[in-house]
Amino acid sequence: MNILILGSGGREHAFTIKLVASTKVNQVFVAPGNAGTDKIATNININPTDFEAVKKTVLENNIKMVVVGPEAPLVAGVHDFFLSDATLKNIPVIGPKKDGATLEGSKDFSKQFMQKHGVPTAKYKSFTKENLQEGFAFLETLEPPFVLKADGLAAGKGVLILNSLTEAKQELEEMVSNKKFGEASTTVVIEEFLKGIELSVFVLTDGKNYKILPSAKDYKRIGEGDTGLNTGGMGAISPVPFADTAFLDKVEQLVVKPTINGLQKDGIDYRGFIFIGLMNDNGNPSVVEYNVRMGDPETEVVLPRIESDLFDLFDGVANQNLNEKSFKVTPKTATTVMLVSGGYPEAYQKNKEITGFNNVTESTVFHAGTTIKDNKVVTSGGRVMAVTSFGNTIEEALEKSYKSINQIKFDKMNFRKDIGFDLV
């Protein structure tokens, strides 16, 4: 069978490696892909939100399954587009339809969903410029820090955590009245600040059955010691030592089951990944957010730990018999360290030649922001490569990742030297 993966990051390179390895998969196409996917699969240079171009690719290449990496095509309705097209409707799409994707596309919707189905989450209220004064009054009832979230997709930038009430009121007004995050902040969710330590749990579901994938912790800030600006993610670790069996059992009973049941009750036929951002407060889980896709760089530690055939699991999602599929995870620890362009997450330069990554033997190098220019692999984004290693302990795996990184070079390469600092 031929498969098309939509996206171009480390997450998509990780999907590609797993799917290429399946004996049941013939050819893998990636749109648009990167220099890493180009080496083992076929890149197609189209935009994943250009559905007509996706359709043409699918029909021209006899593609029989589409795996969606990022949220944008899902929120824009790529799955619905396939179902409404006579020539595409029997081709399964791994990723929810528009209704399910709203769990990520609208924070207000996802908070309402959690409240309705009893999923533990921070207390909240939503406001627009019409009830700004009520928003101010609600802020006054909360203790600092204040959490303000743009309702819509804001490229990971739509969450503000503020210590002063005056500042929180100013920012709320900026968001709803002056469109600080464009249309995304027409509505703003204000919620209680959750204490605890954060981690992510990933679920793959066919709408009825589910598999809980390995959990992971990512490192979002650019600076060591979790300081500085937020990024897409600077590294990740799986499993998460503080997510023990007792905690993960609570997550399954209190979060995963009510979420899957809630989707069914609400008539949302969800086929794909659910990424649950969680706070662990003294052993009790509370949901920070849902995403409707895998995380990046979390995928670069979660997928390598899955020993089962990924295509088989996707086939189970497509045919709603995920419960019949075997699911095996290695107990080993996987760590990944992200190499980024100097300046990221602010302005940075592109087109820097990357060398040495082919000499790495002890780690897997997942390409993220890379492309090929004049037969050379060059940088094309802020997050460039994720270097993943296995070990019996976090320390052992990290040591391998950092040793491998020593072999890789590009101008102004930057990375965090303290991934896992809080866990070891």
Strand segments, DSSP code E, in 295-382 are 333-341, 364-367, 370-373, 376-379
Picked from ligand GLY, ligand AMP, none, the partner binding residue 233 (CB below 5 to 8 A depending on kind) is: ligand GLY
Nearer to ligand GLY, 295 or 382 (CB): 295
DSSP string of 357-372?
Answer: GGG--SSEEEESSEEE
Spatial separation of the C-alpha atoms in residues 140 and 248, rounded to whole Å: 35
Spatial separation of the C-alpha atoms in residues 304 and 18, rounded to whole Å: 8
Nearer to ligand GLY, 8 or 22 (CB): 8
Q: 403 — phi, psi (to 5°)?
A: -65, -40
Write out the H or E segment, with its range, that includes residue 247: helix 245-250
Q: Which residues ranging from 198 to 257 are in contact with ligand AMP (CB under 6 A)?
A: 198
CB-CB contact of 115 with 280 (8 Å): no
Q: Please, which residues have CB within 8 angstroms of residue 117's CB and are 6 or more apart in sequence?
A: 258, 259, 261, 262, 265
CB-CB contact of 51 with 83 (8 Å): no
Among 7, 36, 272, 295, binds ligand GLY (CB under 6 A): 295
CB-CB contact of 236 with 249 (8 Å): no
Nearer to ligand GLY, 67 or 377 (CB): 67
Peptide bond connecting 258 to the previous residue in cis, omega within 30 degrees of 0: no
Spatial separation of the C-alpha atoms in residues 69 and 3, rounded to whole Å: 13
Spatial separation of the C-alpha atoms in residues 422 and 242, rounded to whole Å: 11
Picked from ligand GLY, ligand AMP, none, the partner binding residue 218 (CB below 5 to 8 A depending on kind) is: ligand GLY
CB-CB contact of 184 with 158 (8 Å): yes
Picked from ligand GLY, ligand AMP, none, the partner binding residue 147 (CB below 5 to 8 A depending on kind) is: ligand AMP
Build a one-symbol-per-residue string for 134-173: x at contacts with ligand AMP by CB under 6 A, - elsewhere: -------------x-----------x--------------
Nearer to ligand GLY, 34 or 291 (CB): 291
Part in contact with ligand AMP (CB under 6 A); list of ranges 127-135, 188-196, 236-244, 330-338: 188-196
CB-CB contact of 236 with 217 (8 Å): yes
Q: How many helices (H) and strands (E) does the chain have?
A: 14, 23
Nearer to ligand GLY, 18 or 125 (CB): 18
Part in contact with ligand AMP (CB under 6 A); list of ranges 27-35, 43-51, 163-171, 189-197: 189-197
Our finding on whether 233 is near ligand GLY (CB under 6 A) is: yes
First-to-last alpha carbon distance for the chain, in angstroms, is 43
Q: Provide the minimum distance between the beta carbon of 143 and ligand AMP in the complex, in angstroms, as a whole number.
A: 12
Binding residues for ligand GLY, rule CB under 6 A, total 7
Build a one-symbol-per-residue string for 255-284: x at contacts with ligand AMP by CB under 6 A, - elsewhere: ----------------------x-------
Spatial separation of the C-alpha atoms in residues 172 and 169, rounded to whole Å: 5
Part in contact with ligand GLY (CB under 6 A); list of ranges 57-65, 177-185, 289-297, 340-348: 289-297
Our finding on whether 206 is near ligand GLY (CB under 6 A) is: no
Our finding on whether 104 is near ligand GLY (CB under 6 A) is: no
Part in contact with ligand AMP (CB under 6 A); list of ranges 30-38, 186-194, 323-331, 370-378: 186-194
Nearer to ligand AMP, 71 or 99 (CB): 71
Classify residue 365 as exposed, middle or buried by CB count within 10 Å of its CB (0-12, 13-18, 19+).
Answer: buried
Part in contact with ligand AMP (CB under 6 A); list of ranges 19-27, 47-55, 187-195, 403-411: 187-195
CB-CB contact of 208 with 320 (8 Å): yes
Among 291, 388, 389, 404, binds ligand GLY (CB under 6 A): 291
Contact set with ligand GLY (CB under 6 A): 218, 232-233, 291, 295-296, 298
Note the residues at the interface with ligand AMP (CB under 6 A): 122, 147, 159, 191, 193-194, 198, 277, 288-289
